């Protein structure tokens, strides 16, 4: 089970966003983050805890280990306001779960 906090984060463009994801048991480093904008499919941002997916700006960074993970977005741009999900895979059998999401909204 993945629990994200906060549920909603209100910030202004130019500020730094810190989103948290806590796992009920260790997921090692197999943790990903996705961004979803209204009416669109999710997009992979970060995989293996801290690796940026292709084309993702370097203002997005991921960190953490074990059960506690963080997505940081520095210098927020207007297009960054969206819902963010963390995701992990269980070892065996392979099943996958998402956090409930954090909505990043413009203050």
What gap in Å lies between CA 62 and CA 23, rounded to an integer? 15
Burial class (CB in 10 A: 0-12, 13-18, 19+), 72: middle
Sole binder of another protein in the list 15, 16, 66, 89 (CB under 8 A): 89
Strands 102-106 and 8-11 come out as parallel
68 is written with which tokens?
């506690």
Question: Is 38 a binder of another protein (CB under 8 A)?
Answer: no
- Rounded to a whole number of angstroms, the minimum distance from the CB of residue 3 to another protein is 12
Is position 103 an interface residue for another protein (rule: CB under 8 A)? no
Least Å distance, CB 58 to another protein, is: 18
Point out which span in 14-22, 59-67, 74-82, 95-103 binds another protein (CB under 8 A).
95-103
Question: Beta partners for 22?
Answer: 3, 68
- Determine, following the binding rule CB under 8 A, whether residue 95 of this chain makes contact with another protein: yes
* 3-state secondary structure at position 81: coil
Contact residues: another protein, CB under 8 A: 30, 32, 34, 36, 40-44, 47-48, 53, 85, 87, 89, 93-101
């Amino acid at each position: 089970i993945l629990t994200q906090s906060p549920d909603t984060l209100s910030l202004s463009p130019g500020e730094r966003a810190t989103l948290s994801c806590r796992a009920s048991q260790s997921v090692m480093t197999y943790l990903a983050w996705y961004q979803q904008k209204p009416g669109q499919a999710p997009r992979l941002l970060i995989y293996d805890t801290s690796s940026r997916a292709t084309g993702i700006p370097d203002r997005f960074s991921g960190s953490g280990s074990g059960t506690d993970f963080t997505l940081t977005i520095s210098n927020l741009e207007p297009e960054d306001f969206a819902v963010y999900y963390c995701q992990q895979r269980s070892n065996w059998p392979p099943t996958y779960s998402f956090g409930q999401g954090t909505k990043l909204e413009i203050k």
